[in-house]
Structures are given as structure tokens and as C-alpha cells.
Structure 1
Amino acid sequence: MGITIKGKSDGVFEIEIELSSTYAEIKNAIQKKLSRNKDFFSGTGARIIFTGKVLNEAQKKGLRRMLEMDYGVIHVIFSDETAENYENRDVKIKRAAEPEEEKSDGRISLLSKSYFNAKSIIVPHTVRSGQRIECEGDVVVLGDVNDGAEVIAGGSVIVMGILRGLVHAGAMGRSDVAVAANTLRPKQLRISGKIAIFPEGEESDVPQVAEFKQGTVVIRSLRPQQKKL
């Protein structure tokens, strides 16, 4: 069997890993069980805790990436991790504007499977509502990221237009990443697994970059350097 899934209170699910299971068996068992209820986890704020067999860091990252990209689950913890490693994953910041409304049927489709294993990619157009970009490296979008679109990157994300959709930089655990845009107005921003919620506020008229530093999301302006005459 490999795993046993138990539902708990407040949207918490325990996945118990059998001690004799290999990593491949664990992944296959999770995919088989969760694929039957894929829509149940997506967007519900579900939290998953793994118990039983202890996995190494690479295996943990692989499971976290699979659960986020395939099932929309971003709250994942392993029983051998300390509480300090997991608490305060939701980080609020104090700058943003209400994103523009865009009609969407709520469905997200992967734009191109060839992007995923790339070290870095350039998307030469706007990422529209319902489209999703996945890449192990950095992503540069020569256009906007609309509300209802998603960009998931193992590295940094640069948007040459308006960022209104969901962006996750450092999705595989890297913390030396950033999200930059000409206009930073995301529906939701994630950096290294931390969630930044953008409250209503004034828009900036200069490009900005968001980085995760010392437990919080820091946003700074990228003001062009003035030439001296």
C-alpha cells in the first residue's frame, strides 16, 4: 500500500508512510490516491502532515513540489521537522492595490510541459487567465501575468508588465530568489513557500521587487538611476 491517509479537523490530512516503502512507491501511492480527489484539495487551504518513515531533504522537496504543482497543496510538513520550521508560513505585507477583475472559469492548464526542466525561460507574451507556467529555474515574462494565471518557478520571476496573478518563486525551497515587475499587484505572491497577502493600497509608479528576508517579505522600488549632466 505504501501510505495511509487520515482526515483530521480543520482541513488537516495525515499521510502515514510505511517504513518499508521506497520513495518511488510513496510517490506512486500518493498520486494514485489524490488523483481521485484532485479538486478536493485545490484551493481549500488543506494542510498535509507526513508521519511514519523519515525522508531525506531531496525527497521532501520532491513531494512538496508534486503536491503544490499537481494538487494545489502548499501547506506540507513532515513529523520530524520542528515547529519553528513550519510556523508563520503566511506572511502579510503592507503594499498593494486591488487587482483588476478578469472573467475566468477557474480552470488552469499547463502552457508547455517543455518549460519545466529548463534552467531558465523567457515567455514572449502575456500569461492569460487559465494558463500556468512551471519551470525549475528562472522565468521572465515579456508581458503581463493576468489575474487567474499562475507562474511557478524554482528560481526568480521577472514580469515586464503588470503582475496580477499568482506567482511562486523559490518553489523548490530556494530562498535566494525574488519577484520583480513593472507593476506589482499580484492576487497572491509566494516566495520560498511563504505566502504574502497584498492588502488594498496605493499603486507604485515605478518597477518593484519583492524578496524574502529575515522572516518577512520586503518590497523595494527599482528607481532608474538619473544621469549626471
Structure 2
Amino acid sequence: MQGIITFKGKEKGLEIYLDERSTYPVLREELMEKLKKNQDFFRDSDTRVVIRGKKLSEAQRKELRRVFSMDFGIRDVIYGDEADLMREAELKIEKPPVKKPEPDEYREEVELVSGAYFDAQSIFINHTVRSGQRIECEGDIVVLGDVNPGGEVIAGGSIAVFGRLRGLAHAGCSGRKDVCVAAVNMCPKQLRLSGRVVTFPDREETGGPEVAEMRDGKVVIRPVSVK
């Protein structure tokens, strides 16, 4: 059953892909197993869950919605065709122009992540990533908490941890080179930037924020001074 259920972080929440060739009972069993393994992460979450892939009957959709709500406290569950219709409706609504910030308004954030950008697919995690939990996103990831040993944060872009980074962080998993990993306390078990892998078996907690980035093909970690 490996690979029949895929979790992906998206702009406004989490996307779950159900293998189209698998039967509903098999998919339901595997989905429940994955959710139970990460129930601390999902319980009472405000995250929107979008389910794509396998075409489900109305009864099956209602059953999964009931399970998400009753067992895991997730009430915002929609299916791919519903999400596409909502997106199409949103695009038809005229929105006021967004004020472009002046340089002084974002100088501190840019300095903290060493010039990395946060695109429309970035996600924010407002809690600690515990052992056994795996966060994935095609864009950038910001964690407002710690990443514990055994926790994994994997991003196509950059990663910023406003806490202790003690698990695995992989920035640039899609091959991007202009990425970095920033943390208030940088002591990961393993750090990956694009194709480079660095391990820190005995690194102690640091006294301030640091950023890891690529320079001349090597991973360099330097302190960051936030004014």
C-alpha cells in the first residue's frame, strides 16, 4: 500500500491525493492509519484539507468528512472538484490592489532569511513539529515553533524555524539553488540544501539565529544579526 496516499502542503492548507487505481476500502484504511500516526498534528487543526485523485461517491465523501470531523477535529474538508470551482469563483471577484511594502517594511524579514523569497505556495506551521511528523511543501516553509529530533521539514524553497531546529531540514528539494535554512537555534541532526547533505551528530545549541546557505558549492552556516 506504499504510495497510495500522498500528503502535500499547499498555499492554504493540506492536499491529500488518493491513488485512482486503489479501491475505496483500501484507501480508507491507509488514510486512517496515516492520520492516526500524525493525530497530534491534525487534531483540532484549522487547516483546510483538499482531497484529490480517486473519484468518490457522495456517500463515501460524507463518510470521510464525518471521520475527519469526529476522530480528528478537522471540519474544513473539501474535494478537488469543489476546490476548483471555489478557485474559479474567487478569480472572478475583483480584488483591490495590494499595496507594495516600502523597503523598510520588510528589511528585517529579508535579512533573517538571507534574501530568500516566500512565494504563493508558502505555508506557515504555528506549532512544534514532533518526532515522526513530516511537513512537505512545494514552496517555502515557516515554522513558528521547534522541529524536534525525528521531525522532518522538506521544502522546494527555503525554510525558516522560529525556534530550535533539531530534526531534519531539506531546502531546495526540487533542485533550486537559491535557498537557505534559517533557525533561531540551529542544531539539526541533518541538513540538506539542494543536493548537499550535512550531518551534525554533536552540535550543541547556538546562542542566536543562524542561516545555512550555499556558497561556491558548499554549505555555509553563519550567524544572523537581526536589528
Q: TM-score, normalised by structure 1?
A: 0.47
For CA contacts below 8 A with separation 6 or more, give which structure has more relative contact order.
1
Q: TM-score, normalised by structure 2?
A: 0.48
1 or 2, which has the higher helix percentage?
Answer: 2
Q: Please identify the structure whose Cα radius of gyration is greater.
A: 2
